[in-house]
Amino acid sequence: MTFSIAGYCSDTGQFGTAISSSSICVASRCPFVAPGKGAVLSQNVTNPALGQLGVALLEERLDAQAVLQRLLEQEAFPEWRQLLVLDANGHSAVHSGAETLGIHATRQGHHCVAGGNMLATTEVVSAMVDAFEAHRGELAERLLAAMEAGQASGGEMGPVHSAGLTVTDKASWPSVELRVDWHIAPLTELRMIWENYRPQRDAYLQRAAAPQESPSYGVPGDQR
């Protein structure tokens, strides 16, 4: 019911995830990102607690394989879970339990990891990794390009309805956190939201770090 990717940019230190699903509100329960430390995707028959625990373990500087092992030890039903972990060094680990739904696949790439279930074909995740590795834009662009490549390769077996994009940078909160919770073409909608948000993103970050230098709110007489 889901295909997704987690990625790392060694130039900026950014981590991020992108995801889409036939289920509603997929970005509310599957992707988890620890600023500067890595990312976890908990999907298939989802247990969000695994994402929360995975982030906590990444914050302790455990590597991807150690995080995955701890998650599988803690989970009572590992056969139902699909897990992707990306650590602070861009290394990854994956798990698809025996009860993972339909056609499913994972692929570990350079500073990225992708996976999915109920896929049209296993080639979907390969297309995502190839697109991520080939794209030379910023991390958010690379993640979106990967999702669009996955959709073009068949995506899910049925129509998707929700999507999300998250990127963390130097702040303790995401610099990008965009969601489409229910839409006939969620990735197209997500692309539109990103294109509108991108030119405003830095201004919102500046308002937190240096409010005295931030763009004017249109207060009468304010010429900033």
Domain spans in the chain, listed from the N-terminal domain onward: 2-213
Looking at residue 125, its amino acid is V
CATH fold of 2-213 reads Glutamine Phosphoribosylpyrophosphate, subunit 1, domain 1 (3.60.20)
3-state secondary structure of 9: coil
Instruction: Give 96-110 pLDDT, tens digit per residue.
Output: 999 999 999 999 999
Instruction: Give 8-54 pLDDT, tens digit per residue.
Output: 999 999 999 999 999 999 999 999 999 999 999 999 999 999 999 99
- Alpha carbon separation from 113 to 4, 70, 95, 97, 184 (Å, rounded): 9, 19, 11, 17, 26
CB contact burial 118-155 (16+ within 10 A = b; e otherwise): bbbeeebbbbbbbbbeebeebbbebbbbbbbbbbebbb
User: What is the pTM for the complete model shown?
Assistant: 0.95
CA 6 to chain centre: 5
Instruction: Give 130-163 pLDDT, tens digit per residue.
Output: 999 999 999 999 999 999 999 999 999 999 999 9
Please report the pLDDT score of residue 216 as a whole number: 66
Run of H or E residues at 42: strand 38-44
**Rg of the chain (C-alpha set):** 18
pLDDT band at 61 (very low <50, low <70, confident <90, very high): very high
pLDDT band at 224 (very low <50, low <70, confident <90, very high): very low
